[in-house]
Amino acid sequence: MAPGAAVVTRVIRYALIVILAAVFFFPVAATITNSFMTVTEIGERYASGNQDIQAFVQTGEGENTQVGKIVKKSVSLIPLRITLSQYYTVLIEEYKYLNMFWNSVKLSAGITVLHVFIAIITAYVFAKVEFRGRDIIFFIYIVVMMMPFQVTLLPNYILVRSLNLLDTYYSILLPGIFAPFGVFLMRQFMKYIPDEMIEAAVLESDSVKDLFITVIIPMAKPGIIALTVLTFAENWNMVEQPLIYLSDALKHPLSLALNSIIKSNNAIAFAGSVIYMMPIIILFLYFEEYIIQGLENSKL
């Protein structure tokens, strides 16, 4: 390929990457900036022309004035006036959303810690321990992982109901910590840990705990961090499980609250969305290098 053609190809490639990145980043940027808009501006920009906005704007005299028949306008990234009123409403006045936020933290963190712990041990057995039927059992793991999540909802519901765990967090924790994806990811990673290092650690100490602390966990650190972030993100976004297993609305995670926020008060929808997505964004930004390294080294 001629040098000129190579330059043109590279420019086109980078241009496509920039365009795609801008397309995916725009909704996130719009959500964050719109969360600092006033209630009035949210109503003016996102309410349909025939919709009566049931929002009230406080006047200078302290009286509330109803806003109605507001014309829909285009999306804007720059608020006319920056305010924290949306966050005040979500975090202080509508405290139930903050309660749902902590419900999400408890569920996601609990499932993540237990799932990663079980996945590390199980993956080591599948990768480094020889026993009869190992490959067949792992094949079953792969088949289960390839099934759509909705396929296992009914069997899990029947099992949870028979154990009298409905409307408890155990109904979500138990199926979540035994998900097959973590075992698959960590096995792919541990297959490439040198057997010589494991043999040397076994000769030095017969303790299984020492083997994992000195060799397995340090060598598999990128994969463990990648699995931790991916597991937390997956469970942070759960919808079907709490909707089916938890009848008590006070136990619902924040992922179920966004739809009700939009229906009940679209003026705080952006602030609720920002609060919802910030933990995942922070995790991915902070552990980005480990996630990329872990997925690359796992040979997926």
228-286 tens-digit pLDDT: 999 999 999 988 889 889 888 888 898 887 767 766 666 788 888 898 999 998 998 88
Q: pLDDT tens digits, residue range 171-190? A: 999 888 988 888 888 888 88
Q: How far apart are CA 163 and CA 128, in angstroms?
A: 35
Please count the residues of the chain. Answer: 300
Q: How far apart are CA 42 and CA 51, in angstroms?
A: 13
Question: So what's the pLDDT on residue 110?
Answer: 94
Question: So what's the pLDDT on residue 1?
Answer: 56
Question: So what's the pLDDT on residue 47?
Answer: 62
How many C-beta atoms lie closer than 10 Å to residue 67's C-beta?
A: 17
Run of H or E including 113: helix 95-128
Question: So what's the pLDDT on residue 65?
Answer: 46
Question: So what's the pLDDT on residue 66?
Answer: 45
Assign domain 94-297 to a CATH class.
mainly alpha
pTM higher than 0.85, yes or no?
no
Where, residue-wise, is CATH 1.10.3720.10 in the chain? 94-297
Question: So what's the pLDDT on residue 262?
Answer: 66
Question: So what's the pLDDT on residue 54?
Answer: 43
Question: So what's the pLDDT on residue 299?
Answer: 56
Q: What amino acid is encoded at 244 in this protein? A: I
Question: So what's the pLDDT on residue 40?
Answer: 80
The backbone torsions φ and ψ at residue 84, rounded to the nearest 5 degrees and listed phi first, read -105, 20
**For the chain, which ranges sit under pLDDT 50?**
48-72
